[in-house]
DNA sequence: GTGGAAACATACTCATGGGAATGTTTTTGC
DNA sequence: GCAAAAACATTCCCATGAGTATGTTTCCAC
């Protein structure tokens, strides 16, 4: 399931090259967030790096490939933040709140990446993608589904344990994802904002979301 | 606040012309949903109508103008469905559930329009828009905010009446919108689906969302 | 220290699609 | 019923931006 970086293209190995790739991905995410997937040009991404197109196309075969890598990175951020929480030995409602809070943090901390995903998702790449690219995209969409499944698992556990009252696990999962991902639509980074400020947002949001699912 | 159709351009008046505009808007929404805002070409929109570019550009000055009109239409669908419910003399929690359910229905019934909004929102039009177009966009964004304010009003009423427990009205409003609008990301139209099926989705979703805000 | 490959920059090609210009038909006001 | 304006269709222009080809420089292996 885990798609290793560079699946489309196994040329790059050097340490410096990897670092350059990372920077390109990050610059691309910022540009995608600013101007959208199409309006953001490869030249602009290069400029964001204080560089030129040549550098970008040396590391990536196409703009699509860059987008896919941003997508993958965004998903990895989510998994890294939430996976550890699954092992916690706490009641399902509390675990859900913890997971949702963590997800909220990721949304705010990696905003350009998460925003990029929302901008196109499946609609981008339609037609104008190679067969290989489409396969990678399918894998990423599956990855996203796997991520949502983490929440459904806990929902199911809570339902079985009687700590949660969930009419439809699938629908509840959708609801949770929607409410949390909505963050990227309205959250704006403010320099003076502290971690505590963001934590209040994430925790409060998580509590409201899970609150509607608690068994009373 | 209410922006009348054709604000950008007051040429069109005839009954037939209006009808043609409506069809163009609808075809555009479908195309935008299918291929995204940029990938959807004006030629494709025309083809969706069984027509050509000439027709489209006779009624609209630019592709941007079409997008703005789709946006406005989407918002009108929302207002039309929810505004009447505000006069209902029922407790805030119940009213919220009714509003949320109605909104859910609109999301599913006018999917192409609602999906189009999410595809670009503020990010689309950046730079490549005339001053007039940007002003219209500002109005539409304000309209969207006014819509969310409807929910905040009821939230505040419930808070005051003690029927709701809302730590942050602003945040709760965001949460509700996010959870409901998320519908357009995963909902797929199925021919065999009845109104009752959709109502179960909308009602169940609404109940989960508001459930977390009830005063216990 | 030198050959060669990786890591870029520079300069080009070329398809695409928005929009304008222009022609043709249909409708409508009088 | 006849101008004339609206409602289209057809054709063309041209800016834009993805991708390529070809340099030039930097880095590392040996």
Domain containing B51 — which CATH number?
1.10.10.60
Does the residue A216 lie in any domain?
no
* Same domain membership, residue A92 and residue A197: yes
Q: Would you state the structure tokens that stand for residue A169, as one six-digit string?
A: 């696990």
User: Distance between the two ends of chain B, CA-based, in angstroms?
Assistant: 38
pLDDT at B125: 64
* Same domain membership, residue A19 and residue A69: no
For B27-41, what is the mean pLDDT?
91
CA–C1' gap, A72 and C7, in angstroms: 25
Does the residue B186 lie in any domain?
yes
Pick from B103, B179, B203, B204 the residue to mutate for testing the A interface (most A CBs within 10 Å).
B179
The yes-or-no verdict on residue B29 having pLDDT over 90 is: yes
Q: Would you state the structure tokens that stand for residue A14, as one six-digit string?
A: 């050097």
* Same domain membership, residue A127 and residue A39: no
Q: Are the Cβ atoms of A185 and B128 closer than 8 angstroms?
A: no
If you write DSSP's letter for every residue of A86-152 in order, what string do you get?
GG--S-HHHHHHHHHHHHHHHHHHTHHHHHHHHHHTTTTTSSSS-HHHHHHHHHHHHHHHHHHHHHH
CB distance under 7 Å to strand C: residues: A 12, 14, 16-17, 20, 46, 51-55, 58-59; B 14-16, 38-43, 53-54, 57, 61-64
* Same domain membership, residue B105 and residue B23: no
Tally of domains in chain A: 2
pLDDT at B16: 67
* Same domain membership, residue B161 and residue B79: yes
CA distance B57 to chain A (A): 22
Unique residue bearing structure tokens 């949702």 = A100
* Same domain membership, residue A151 and residue A69: yes
Does the residue B216 lie in any domain?
no
Q: Where is the domain boundary, B60, B83, B101?
A: B60
Does the residue A136 lie in any domain?
yes
The yes-or-no verdict on residue B12 having pLDDT over 60 is: no
Apex CA A79: angle with CA B187 and CA B172, to 5°?
Answer: 55
Q: Where is the domain boundary, A22, A42, A60?
A: A60
The yes-or-no verdict on residue B40 having pLDDT over 70 is: yes
The yes-or-no verdict on residue B1 having pLDDT over 50 is: no
* Same domain membership, residue A153 and residue A120: yes
Across all strands, nucleotide nearest B53 (CA–C1'): D9
* Same domain membership, residue B188 and residue B84: yes
Across all strands, nucleotide nearest B49 (CA–C1'): D8
- Residue A32 structural domain: 11-60
Residues 6+ apart with CB under 8 A from A76: none
Residue nearest to nucleotide C23 (CA to C1'): B54
Does the residue A3 lie in any domain?
no
* Same domain membership, residue B202 and residue B107: yes
Between residues A97 and B132, the one the model is more confident about: A97
Query: Mean pLDDT of residues grouped by 10 in chain A (216 residues)?
Result: 39 68 94 89 96 96 94 96 97 97 97 87 68 89 96 97 95 97 94 95 97 81
C-beta separation of B66 from B116 below 8 A: no
Q: Would you state the structure tokens that stand for residue B16, as one six-digit string?
A: 């037939």
pLDDT at A122: 61
pLDDT at A11: 41
Does the residue A6 lie in any domain?
no
The CATH number that applies at residue B193 is 1.10.357.10
Helix, strand, coil % over all residues of chain A, rounded to 5? 75, 0, 25
Q: What is the average pLDDT score of chain B?
A: 89
Could you read off the pLDDT of B71-130 as tens digits, one per residue? 999 999 999 999 999 999 999 999 999 999 999 999 999 999 998 888 776 656 666 678
pLDDT at A125: 65
* Same domain membership, residue B147 and residue B108: yes
Could you read off the pLDDT of B45-66 as tens digits, one per residue? 999 999 999 999 999 999 999 9
* Same domain membership, residue B26 and residue B81: no
What phi and psi values does residue A215 have, to the nearest 5 degrees?
-75, 130
pLDDT at A216: 75
- Please tell me the distance from the alpha carbon of residue A31 to that of residue A15, in angstroms, as a whole number: 25
Closest chain B residue to A211, measured at CA? B212
The yes-or-no verdict on residue B153 having pLDDT over 70 is: yes
Does the residue A169 lie in any domain?
yes
Does the residue B2 lie in any domain?
no
* Same domain membership, residue A81 and residue A49: no
pLDDT at B36: 86
Pick from B100, B120, B212 the residue to mutate for testing the A interface (most A CBs within 10 Å).
B212
Residues of A whose CB is below 8 A from B182: 174-175, 177-179, 181-182
């Amino acid at each position: 399931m885990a798609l290793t970086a560079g699946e489309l293209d196994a040329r790059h190995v050097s340490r410096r090259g990897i670092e350059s790739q990372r920077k390109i991905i990050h610059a691309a995410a910022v540009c995608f967030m600013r101007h959208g997937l199409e309006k953001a040009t490869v030249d602009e991404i290069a400029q964001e790096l204080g560089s030129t197109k040549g550098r970008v196309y040396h590391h990536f075969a196409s703009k699509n490939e860059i987008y896919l890598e941003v997508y993958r990175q965004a998903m990895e951020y989510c998994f890294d933040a939430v996976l550890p929480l699954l092992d916690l030995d706490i009641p399902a409602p509390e675990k859900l709140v913890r997971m949702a809070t963590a997800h909220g943090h990721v949304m705010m901390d990696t905003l350009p990446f998460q925003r990029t995903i929302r901008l196109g998702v499946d609609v981008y790449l339609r037609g104008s993608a190679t067969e290989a690219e489409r396969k990678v995209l399918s894998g990423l969409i599956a990855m996203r589904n796997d991520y949502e499944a983490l929440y459904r698992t806990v929902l199911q556990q809570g339902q079985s344990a009687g700590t949660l009252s969930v009419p439809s696990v699938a629908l509840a999962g959708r609801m949770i994802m929607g409410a949390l991902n909505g963050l990227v639509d309205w959250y704006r980074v403010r320099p003076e904002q502290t971690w505590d400020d963001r934590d209040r947002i994430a925790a409060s949001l998580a509590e409201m979301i899970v609150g509607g699912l608690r068994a009373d």
